[in-house]
Amino acid sequence: MDMAVRQLTYEEWLESMARSTSAAAVVFYDADFRMLLLHATYEDCWQPAGGTVEHGQDPWQAALREVAEETGHQLSGPPRLLGVDWYRPASLDPYAQFLFQGPCIDRRTFSVTLSDEHDAWDLRTVEEWEPLVGPDHAARLALVRDALRTGQALYLHDGRPVGS
């Protein structure tokens, strides 16, 4: 029996590669680990400042661009990765969301200049966010809060720790 395996051409190999996209978000928080979320105008949801990584950008560049667009804040300095969530929504191809630690802010002196994509922002505890975002998203926010507190990086699948 001939057990020879046909070598793929470069084009065939490229075609066989998985296709996914990436997103990047920055988590702003205060000294009590309340996190800032923005309310989207295109759907009724609350989310951290961030969005899709565009062609030619790396995730940190995308995060900087999105934060500037969505909040009016210019971030700089080296990124601090909080974690990555391999997210597989039913309606989209899977994507990796890179979560970066933003600055610790003071609500009394912090302001946001919202883009047309958002109509509100707030800074709340995980428990205060839960009625607005639901239990699954709140559980993910709790993991992000813990990563902020401990410095332990997250690797999530659909908002849950791998292996759970």
For residue 45, give the amino acid letter.
C
Least confident segment among 7-16, 31-40, 64-73, 147-156 = 7-16
On the question of pLDDT at 18 being above 80, the answer is no
Taking the CA of residue 28 as centre, how many other CA atoms within 13 Å lie in the half-sphere pointing to its CB? 26
- Specify the amino acid at residue 38: L
At residue 37, what is the residue type? Answer: L
Q: Mean pLDDT over all residues of the chain?
A: 92
Q: Where are the beta strands (DSSP E) in the chain?
A: 21-29, 35-40, 46-47, 49-52, 81-87, 95-104, 118-124, 154-157, 160-161
Which pTM does this prediction carry?
0.88
Can you give the residue ranges of every domain in the chain? 20-161
How far is it, in rounded angstroms, from Cα 48 to Cα 59?
A: 15
pLDDT tens for 118-148 read: 999 999 999 999 999 999 999 999 999 999 9
Cα torsion 10, 11, 17, 19: sign: positive
Tell me the CATH number for domain 20-161: 3.90.79.10
> Which whole number is the average pLDDT over 41-54?
95
pLDDT digits over 57-100, tens only? 999 999 999 999 999 999 988 899 999 999 888 887 888 999 99
